[in-house]
Chain A
């Protein structure tokens, strides 16, 4: 059984003029456990929307999104929230961290919604794995962008999710840091046998991840 199985998912938004904007149209895809994949595509094509559909943040108009044997799109909002907290790690382009909390506390709350008790030792270990052992008490404003993204990686992994969603996680970083950051994410995810679904239009990332799919290939062209 695939880890992620998306069947004919569609989602449209209403644009400010009131017209329907079909962003995701009859999209289908599959991912196996532990697999890594980049989805590329031009800006505004619907990549972030797809990740939000998988995370259960956005509700689909039709179709199914199975993670394991749960169809997240058939759940209530509250159940989707719980499911996300337990089984998914989410990393964004930037502003990933809660500004008032230290690096360690940011990692800590990654576990709050998982239903697992996360020990202090596990938090320290997670920070050590991303090379921030000595920065656990630093606030986000005291960390560089690369360090902040590494805290976000530690947080996304702390509750050992099966699936990690990453929305352009390296695009706010320079080339060198971007590469290190993606490398770290892939490495740690592999250790935990977590699948990584990344969205990016950065070609350097394509090489690192290996498997790349164009958004347009998965999505049916909207014929108007």
Chain B
């Protein structure tokens, strides 16, 4: 019997139970795609978060959690940790071990996107990626003394905002219409897409943050309400955090100085390591997801096994006939394994589009909530391991019916079929 003939028989037999084969294929590919997604997305998200430090290796902020400080000031998720007096920022700025330092203020939002008060130098001098400053697709940078804003590309896209549009800021980090501040901002520029958290915020001058009606300053320890036409004395100013680059060789020293010996500040360094803490905190979620994926995998295998077994029962008469026509035992086993192989191959092929679908959902979600961008072309061994596991598991599932056909007695079955 030739290979082509074997293929012909397999094809014809498979046509008979097309719908259950489709279910098999889908369940197998879903199981593989789930496994690929859970492990692949996790690894990619971790890598993406660690690489998305916006070019800062340290954040200094008020006393509190280092992770929260990083999440809030760099990723614009989570609550702010409080404020620190301006003088502390000046100390940092003047420290020789600190290469660059930019103060920011947070705490307001527009439609759920964080508004960040900052200085224009952060965009004219700081390199977000090595050798790369952020550019504008439209407009110009804000004037440090006006109620102007440059918005991230994701914000512009989501809220359909363009240069010249105006908006109000709202107190808090969740959008709440009753929390409106009575200060109208004008969009003067839109940043180019960077696939970093920068895309997801509205960037305004520190000064406008200070002068927002309803904001008071506590930099001196006492409440100060800025007056129109009067410049704000430094002593009253404050910052939510200072984004820095410190000399790598001074990191440990600064860490000891600030975290151990100062009472009011936190030094979050190195940023990428602190982000890993987040993933360590989330490890149980990963474990749970992986467990679910593995369970789905096992169920899919059992499902394939039972479907193959059932369809084999249905085809018993066919198998006996094929044997009566001159097929050997091994031919029938080949036919069953061949069917399983084809099912697995199809499941394997479909698992990739299914993976990209799941990844697409995860990417959309992550991009909207964190600004971190997942790509389809991220390589992780699971992308190979999961499909190969599908192949192996399906063949294992097919072994039982294949063995059964191999060991069954044709004469006995002929007897049954004819009775």
CA distance A57 to B415 in the complex (A): 12
Provide the residues of chain B in CB contact with A147, threshold 8 Å: none
Q: Which one of B8, B318, B325, B415 contacts A85 once the chains associate, using CB atoms below 8 Å?
A: B325
Provide the residues of chain A in CB contact with B16, threshold 8 Å: 99-100
CA distance A133 to B63 in the complex (A): 91
Provide the residues of chain A in CB contact with B5, threshold 8 Å: 109, 112
Instruction: Scan B304-336; emit 1 where CB is below 8 A from any A CB, else 0.
Output: 000000000000011001111111111000000
Provide the residues of chain A in CB contact with B411, threshold 8 Å: 49, 52, 57-58
Most chain A Cβ neighbours within 10 Å, of B5, B321, B326:
B326
Q: Tell me whether A90 and B325 are in contact (CB under 8 A).
A: yes
Q: Tell me whether A57 and B1 are in contact (CB under 8 A).
A: no
| A-side interface size class | 35 or more
Q: Tell me whether A57 and B410 are in contact (CB under 8 A).
A: yes
Which one of A30-38, A66-74, A75-83, A121-129 is at the interface? Answer: A75-83
CA distance A193 to B356 in the complex (A): 63
Closest to B419 in A: A93
Q: Tell me whether B325 and A109 are in contact (CB under 8 A).
A: yes
For residues 1 through 47 of chain B, which have their beta carbon under 8 Å from a beta carbon of chain A? 1, 5, 8-9, 12-13, 15-16
Q: Which one of A90, A100, A112 contacts B13 once the chains associate, using CB atoms below 8 Å?
A: A100
Q: Tell me whether A98 and B322 are in contact (CB under 8 A).
A: yes
Provide the residues of chain B in CB contact with A88, threshold 8 Å: 326
Tell me, rounded to whole Å, the shortest Cβ–Cβ distance linking B414 to chain A: 7
Q: Tell me whether B327 and A100 are in contact (CB under 8 A).
A: no
Is A86 part of the binding interface, using a Cβ–Cβ cutoff of 8 Å? yes
A99-B318 CB under 8 A given contacts A48-B415, A92-B417, A105-B12: yes
Is B418 part of the binding interface, using a Cβ–Cβ cutoff of 8 Å? yes
Provide the residues of chain B in CB contact with A81, threshold 8 Å: 323, 326-329
CA distance A35 to B17 in the complex (A): 42
A77-B329 CB under 8 A given contacts A48-B415, A95-B417, A100-B15: yes
Tell me, rounded to whole Å, the shortest Cβ–Cβ distance linking B361 to chain A: 38
Q: Tell me whether A96 and B321 are in contact (CB under 8 A).
A: yes
CA distance A81 to B324 in the complex (A): 8
Main SS of chain B's interface residues?
helix
Instruction: Scan B378-418; emit 1 where CB is below 8 A from any A CB, else 0.
Output: 00000000000000000000000000000000110011011
Most chain A Cβ neighbours within 10 Å, of B327, B330, B417, B418:
B418
CA distance A70 to B330 in the complex (A): 23
| B-side interface size class | 20 to 34
Q: Which one of B322, B328, B410, B415 contacts A109 once the chains associate, using CB atoms below 8 Å?
A: B322
Provide the residues of chain A in CB contact with B410, threshold 8 Å: 57
Q: Which one of B9, B317, B324, B418 contacts A93 once the chains associate, using CB atoms below 8 Å?
A: B418
For residues 156 through 206 of chain A, which have their beta carbon under 8 Å from a beta carbon of chain B? 167-168
Tell me, rounded to whole Å, the shortest Cβ–Cβ distance linking B367 to chain A: 48
Provide the residues of chain B in CB contact with A84, threshold 8 Å: 324-326
A92-B418 CB under 8 A given contacts A58-B411, A100-B15, A100-B16: yes
Closest to A52 in B: B411
Q: Tell me whether B418 and A94 are in contact (CB under 8 A).
A: yes
Most chain A Cβ neighbours within 10 Å, of B5, B325, B328, B411:
B325
Tell me, rounded to whole Å, the shortest Cβ–Cβ distance linking B369 to chain A: 51
Provide the residues of chain B in CB contact with A55, threshold 8 Å: 324
Q: Tell me whether B418 and A98 are in contact (CB under 8 A).
A: no
Pick 27 A–B contacts, CB within 8 A, sort by A: A48-B414, A57-B323, A57-B410, A57-B414, A58-B411, A77-B329, A78-B329, A78-B330, A84-B325, A85-B325, A85-B326, A90-B325, A92-B414, A95-B417, A97-B321, A98-B13, A98-B321, A99-B16, A99-B318, A100-B16, A105-B8, A109-B8, A109-B9, A112-B5, A112-B325, A113-B1, A113-B325
Which 5 residue pairs of A and B lie closest in terms of their CB atoms, listed nearest first? A85-B326, A113-B326, A100-B16, A81-B328, A112-B5
A88-B326, A90-B325 given. 14 additional CB < 8 A pairs?
Answer: A52-B411, A55-B324, A57-B414, A58-B411, A78-B330, A81-B323, A81-B328, A90-B324, A92-B417, A98-B12, A98-B13, A99-B317, A101-B12, A105-B12
